[in-house]
Structures are given as structure tokens and as C-alpha cells.
Chain A
Amino acid sequence: MKKFLIAALMCACVLGMTSTAKAVVLAPGGVAAITNSAPALLGTHVIVGYNQSVVYDSITASITQDVYLNSTGYLFLYRITRSGEPTTNNSVHRFTTTDFTGFATDADAYQSVVGDDLPHFMDRSGTGNTIGFSFENLSSGDLGLAPNTNSAILWIQTNTQYLTMGTGNFINGGVKAVPLYAPGVVPEPATLSLLGLGILGLFGFRRRKV
């Protein structure tokens, strides 16, 4: 019986470990520096080159999104591109995306092409819902993602197993919202009954031990 319990505990440990890991953990309320690490493009490429044009506040940009499903969950990638604009156009200060409440996330930005603009930092709201990448740095006089430049690849690895349509927001004084793919809500109808069975299971062991 002891041996068995040890085996069960080991199983639980393995389970616990599969849900941790990765580059920069972005917890609710957290702010983190960008480390320029590349995302691991493994698993199924579910959304391929989904594109949205972003026209607002003297900005003509577009955002491309790719989504992969790997063994951890869905991985979201974003790249903002700007071309053919007058250099007098405004810079993009900040990009945020929502629907991450309740999910573990690792995030970073990766300069896949030399010269692509890396954000200065990334952050996550207190509820965990919103994840933001800030291109603006007032102390160094950087106004953000300038006309005719592209952003680094912004990426967020989640443990969600579901995908839905959410929004991305371009924040520049005004806010421009565009539809982007985001984590979906987790349905848990059967979990409680299973928990009941599990508790019964523990009782079963207890009684045998006496």
C-alpha cells in the first residue's frame, strides 16, 4: 500500500510539473522586462496569418496574428506592421489584448528581423484579463512604434485549451479595438461529480488501512 501511495504521489508531481515552465511568467498585476526570446512554434498551427488593418489617430498599421496549439495550450503571436505612411504620422504607444483571466501565461517579444521594434516592457492587469506591450518610453524620448517600422513578434503562451474571438486594442491617446483570437472560457460541468468520486476513493483507502 505504501508503495502504491508513493507511486500516486509521483504521478501527481508529474502532473503538476507539466503545467509550469517557460521564459517569462507574467502573473496578474505583474510587469516584466522583454528578454527577446523566441517562441517555440510546436504543435498545430490553428490560425494562420489572420490579418486586421488598424486605421486611427493618423496611424495606418496592420496586425497579423498566428495561433498554435501545443502541449501546454494555445500560443498567441502578434506582429504589427507599418508601411507607406508619411513620417509625420503618430507612433503606436501601446498594444493590449484581453480575455486572459484565470490562465497561466508566459510572454515575451522576439526580434525575428533586425530593426524590428522591441517593446520596452509588458504588463498584466490585476485581474489578469489584459496583457499589454508598451512601445513608448517617455524617459528616453521614444514615442513608440514609428511609421514605416514593424514590431517584434509579441507572443503569449497560455494554458487554455479553448479558443475564441476577443479583441486587441491600440492605445495612443485614443483606443482602436480590432477583433483578434483570444483564450476561450473553460467549461467544467463534470469536475464536481469526479471530485465526489475522488473523495469516496480516499475513504476507501482509509478504511482498508484500519
Chain B
Amino acid sequence: MRNKGLILLLLCGLLILGFSGAAQAAILMNFDPTAFTPDTATGSHSHTYTTALGNVTFNGRIWNEINGSPVADHTTGTTSGYFLKNTTDAKKVTMNFSFDVSSFSLYWLGLSGVTMNGATYDAAGNVLGTGTSTGNKTWVFQSDGPYTSPIRSIAFWTSGGNNMAIDDLLINPVVPEPTSLSLLGLGLLGLFGFKGNKNLKKKGVKKI
């Protein structure tokens, strides 16, 4: 009986290890028309972007100008770049993830002298981290995480409700580590070991 249990556990362990080999790739959201539909109407818009990891629900406007002028995309250098902009009604760009996020990086575009704020939250809405940046009409790179608990939502806004935008959001999912999983496997085996001991004691069987 006990041996069967051990073999089963070993198989489970191997299965877990097999899965851990296939880490899931980071997601890049560039808001370009190839994958995203621009919001021609002004005001805030709610979007759901389906990924291999789950859904990203976000509010803001997918657009290509700030205060009436087109802005050069930092990647291509052309003025046709699209990004996620905050809007005069909501003033914020917010994003919720249906899956656990470890860390992310993005480009932040603000107007000259405008202070931009950002925050990350866990599943319960607790603040994990905050950051600020001063806009200078060029893209400013920002990176956030990892934290001890996973990120489930993020928000960006300007202090005076001025316009700003984010682009090329790179989202890293939480990846289980193979070493951790092998330790977990050992741990489970350990629990079985103890259980086996107790059973032996109960039955009054002499240990071999």
C-alpha cells in the first residue's frame, strides 16, 4: 500500500516537473492597430484583451495624439504610434489582470513638467508599490515588481488631471520555479513518511 502511494507521488512529481519546463511567455501590449482597435471617440473606453494567460481588462483611450498633436512612437520613430492615453473624464489609465503578474515594464509619455503617478495592487486591492515620473514629451521607461505577492491591477494618472499615456507594456506572469517544485515534492514525500510511521505505530508493527 505504502509503496503504491510513493510511486503515485513520484509520478505526480514528474508531471509537475514536466509542466514547469514550459514557462509561459511575457505578453507585450503595444496598442498598435495590428492587435488593438483605436478608440475614435473621445472619453474613456473599457477593453478586454484576451491572452494565453487570461484576460487583461483596461480603461483608457487607445489613441495616437496628446493635446491634439501626434507623438513619435519611441520604437519606430514615426508619428503614427498608438498608445493607451488617460482621458479627461476618467483621468486615469487602469488595468486589471485575471492572472498573477510578477513584474512589468512600460514606456510612459507625459507633457513637459507634468508629474505622473503610478501604483500597483494585489488581488485584495492592497498597494504593492508606487512611483512617479516627470513628463518631458519623450518616453520614460519604468519598471515595477517583483513583490512578495503577485500584482493583479495597475493604475496611472497625472497630478492635475493632465494628459499622459503608456505604451509597450510588457507583462511577466508568475513562473513556478523547478527547484521550488522539487522541494515541494520532497515535502510531500516527507508528509507521507510521517504518516507511514504513525500507521506502523498504531498497528504495533515493528519498524524494519
Contacts and interface: CB of A to CB of B under 8 A. Distances in A.
Contacts of A47: 28
Counting chain A CB atoms within 10 Å of each CB, the highest count among B25, B76, B141, B189 belongs to B25
B5 to A, nearest CB: 11
Contacts of B177: 161, 186, 188, 191
A78 interface: no
B103 interface: yes
Contact of B75 (A4, A50, A184, A203): A50
| B: contact size bracket | 35 or more
Contacts of B28: 46-47
B99 interface: no
Interface in A1-52: 4, 7-8, 11-12, 14-15, 18, 43-44, 46-47, 50-52
Contacts of B197: 204, 207-208
A181 B199 CA distance: 55
B186 A201 contact: yes
A84 B103 CA distance: 40
Interface stretch (B111-119, B143-151, B153-161): B143-151
Given A18-B21, A46-B25, A164-B103, A201 B193 contact: yes
Given A164-B105, A188-B177, A15 B207 contact: no
Interface in A181-205: 181, 184-191, 194-205
B172 A53 contact: no
Contact of B194 (A179, A189, A194, A204): A204
Contacts of B13: 11
A59 interface: no
B10 A7 contact: yes
A58 interface: no
A180 to B, nearest CB: 10
B121 interface: no
Interface of A: 4, 7-8, 11-12, 14-15, 18, 43-44, 46-47, 50-53, 69, 71, 73, 161-165, 179, 181, 184-191, 194-205, 207-208, 210
Query: Shortest 7 CB-CB distances between A and B: which pairs?
Result: A201-B190, A204-B193, A197-B187, A187-B146, A198-B186, A194-B183, A44-B25
5 contacts: A162-B175, A186-B146, A198-B184, A204-B191, A207-B197
Interface of B: 3, 6, 10, 13-14, 17, 21-23, 25-26, 28, 74-77, 102-103, 105, 141, 143, 145-149, 170, 172, 174-175, 177-180, 182-184, 186-194, 196-197, 207
Given A15-B178, A207-B197, 9 more contacts: A44-B25, A46-B28, A71-B21, A179-B74, A181-B170, A189-B149, A198-B184, A204-B197, A205-B190
